[in-house]
Structure 1
Amino acid sequence: MNERIEISTEYIPLGQFLKLANIVESGGMVKIFLSEFEVYVNGELENRRGRKLYLGDTVEIEEFGAFEVVREEQN
């Protein structure tokens, strides 16, 4: 089962997504992380930290699991 990561915008860059999902601690770590781990977006290998993720996209990272981008629920 995918962990759901909520966003309130139309899209989120992959680098910000990795911080939001608590996979990396800072933006400076994103480039290094992407060079050391295989990250798949919708089944395709991705290494661009600026890759835009939209609602419904899935991100899979070996050793970390699978994540789905969903709309943040408004209260």
Structure 2
Amino acid sequence: MTKTVSEVINLHNQSKTDLNIYVMIKQVPIPKAMKTTAEGLMDRSGKSQMNPHCTNALEEALSLKDKVGGTITMVSMG
């Protein structure tokens, strides 16, 4: 179930527990730096960056933490 930031703040203000914020992130190749092998497969040795959508999610988590406190945990699978 997705909640807006204001809904999360309201719920947190009603509770007596610390807020634990989890952000799922993914590392993706930088498009201009992408290389392929002779077989046409992506060469994963090139430069990479955090997915832009994940960057937005992390910024929202940091903003939420600034407003109500708590901890942020980032989870990545590559």
TM-score class normalised by the smaller sequence = under 0.3
Structure with the larger strand share:
1
Structure that is richer in helix per residue: 2
Structure with max Cα Rg: 2
TM-score by length of 1: 0.27
Normalised by the length of structure 2, the TM-score is 0.26
